[in-house]
Amino acid sequence: AQSVAQPEDQVNVAEGNPLTVKCTYSVSGNPYLFWYVQYPNRGLQFLLKYITGDNLVKGSYGFEAEFNKSQTSFHLKKPSALVSDSALYFCAVRDIGGSQGNLIFGKGTKLSVKP
């Protein structure tokens, strides 16, 4: 069965510093991987995805993620954090166990960026 793990409940970063939010996955076959961000009382906003191709994926708002097949990881990164990046971040993998494209989410990581 497919699964996603986000080992950190919370990540604290000072504004201007680089940030990393970790994600590891377990799938049978090739993964479709996604990152979403959620602000309080809002829906999920798509940041980026990996399907095939370059291991370094660039997404919205200056975020990027690196797909590492040997480490089964898909960590989210940003070179310089902003206070406005503070939110809840979810890593997700597409469930390829069946024929439907529903997403399986990690538990989420709360990112807090302090001025």
Partner 1 sequence: DTEVTQTPKHLVMGMTNKKSLKCEQHMGHRAMYWYKQKAKKPPELMFVYSYEKLSINESVPSRFSPECPNSSLLNLHLHALQPEDSALYLCASSPDSTGVGYTFGSGTRLTVV
CB of 45 or CB of 80, closer to partner 1: 45
Q: Does 32 bind partner 1 (CB under 8 A)?
A: yes
Quote the strand ranges of 2-115, DSSP E: 3-5, 10-14, 19-21, 24-26, 33-38, 44-50, 56-58, 64-68, 73-78, 87-94, 103-105, 109-114
Q: Does 50 bind partner 1 (CB under 8 A)?
A: no
Q: Does 36 bind partner 1 (CB under 8 A)?
A: yes
Closest separation between CB of residue 37 and partner 1, Å?
A: 11
- Taking the alpha carbons at both ends of the chain, their separation in whole angstroms is 41
Window contacting partner 1 (CB under 8 A); options: 21-29, 36-44, 68-76, 77-85: 36-44
Binders of partner 1 in range 80-109 (CB under 8 A): 88, 90, 94-95, 98-103, 105-108
Question: How, if at all, do strands 109-114 and 44-50 pair?
Answer: unpaired
